[in-house]
Structure 1
Amino acid sequence: MTGGPGATLVLGEALVDLVPVSGDGGVRAAQFGGAPANVAVGLARLGTPVSFAGGLGDDGFAGMIEARLRAAGAGLELCARSALPTALAVAEPGSGETGYHFHLQDTATFRLPDLSARTGGFGAVYVGGLAAVVEPAASAVRATALAAAEQSLLVVDPNVRRDRTLGPDRGSAALRELCGLAQVVKASDEDLRQLWPGADPEETCRKLAAGGRLVVLTRGARGSTAYTATAPPVSVAATPVEVVNTIGAGDAFAAGLLSRLCAHGSFTVHPEPEELRDMLSFASEVAASVCARAGTEPSVPAGT
């Protein structure tokens, strides 16, 4: 993948989720994961050119990850390689959201390249998730994001994860800084409560949007809202679906949103209200395709 005005660079982690097997709580299945990797696969599946830049090891899990990304059509030329193992996330699905216990230290997953010199070659650069707060990846993400904010369209999805290994104070500050740098912020209401405790998520969105950003707030089954500096918020209901799985739904939404931002071969920085409505509806359909079955890879909505 060589980039271009309609291409996205996704920088972040590709790891393995260990997910309970239905009917046998003592058995866990290894599943492709990592929010940025899910977004890269989603973009590729939706036909948006994408290069994924992550850290890949040489174990069997890394081979599985690489095969999944290549099969979807994501470029891997910018990935860093090492002999270290792949990071693991032990998923603990609950009634409201999925919790995780992470095994992150001394893994290939967080040995990310600094791509600050390459951001101008892409229409958009997506960052967020664990790589934004776990060193040594966090330093590479910050440097790349600083460059992308000047040379490209910086898209940030904080994708907050609560875990004692992350250092919540420093991690929250890093994610708040990235949101402040971004031209596009996609965040859940729970993300914003974690990053700006005591503040109403909608008010946080308005403040971020007042700086000229497009801010998209997701609320799971309660739908999504887009905020801009120049127009009233635009809200769309969630696409109805019988939920089988919620892992990766937010990442699928982000991929759908980015794909629609690039619907005309280059990224729209300031969409009109009807364009915003279309973007949110499309992203909701993409997220619903993940919720309707096991796994994290979205389907292209019918009629697209």
Structure 2
Amino acid sequence: MDQSNERHTVSRRSVLGAAALGGVAALAAACAAPSIPAEPQSEAASAPGGPSATGGSASPTTSSAVAEASPKDVIARATVPVLCYHQVRPWTSSDSSYTKTQLVIPPEKHREHLDAIKNAGYTTITPDQYHAHLTQGVELPAKPVILSYDDGKDNQPEIAFADLTARGMKGTWFIMTVVVGNDGWTTKDQIRQVADAGHVIGCHTWDHHDVRKYGAKDWATQFEEPRALLQKLSGQDVDTFAYPYGAWNTAALPHLQKAGYSTAFQLEEKPIDPDRPLLTLPRALAVSTWTGDEVVAKVGAMATATPKA
């Protein structure tokens, strides 16, 4: 890719066309990622914390220093439901059926989901809180959940952010940096606004390029540089990552760790990496046509599922 020519001209069609057109096939391909031996691991524990909001988001109970959990222990604890949303806007006549179910949720349906999740007793947490629980056994609320939003469309800070705030809930915003400030996408000021309100800014690569296709020159461009930019814009330590299309391979994991990420999220029910589980945590696409009862059922099923490695 000639990045010097692409940085200012990438559009939604060029960046996310594969997601809209490839859909299920892209996710299925992720399940067939090649197995590449991982390097020895040494995950660093982060201190528990994260903003709290009455009725919607809570910080874990702090505890004295404990031994770092083994990968096996981390896998056993990886049961917090994590939902993935994309655009929050009304459907249009040009939206495909896949787009309508997987990539765009109308605002009224989004609010229905949030109300159902909150009324069922779930509390939104942050990836940092999840990391503290996974690595140190730090206590979480009785029914924790992570609500995440991918890509960085402008309707996320304009609509989803307000919906979450009105309910005392926190979101995790996985942003690809190539589009920041472009027409129809999240602005620098919006990133800071969301971060200052206690939500979490995460990285979604520079240009939504499939991680399984990276070469030696891609690691800095896709992992390190976007993290540095998002940290500057948000004022946060950006240490959580979401794979484009949910797809990953073991070759990417040491590079993610080197870049400074402590957690990373895939999609659906692919096995967790047995050596670096913190960088392959499960996450599920939220289906926009689900009723409130259906989204609660999905969250409940994820909370009780046995993690696979």
- Please tell me the TM-score bracket, short chain as reference: 0.3 to 0.5
The structure with the greater share of residues assigned to strand is 1
TM-score by length of structure 1 reads 0.34
TM-score by length of structure 2 reads 0.34
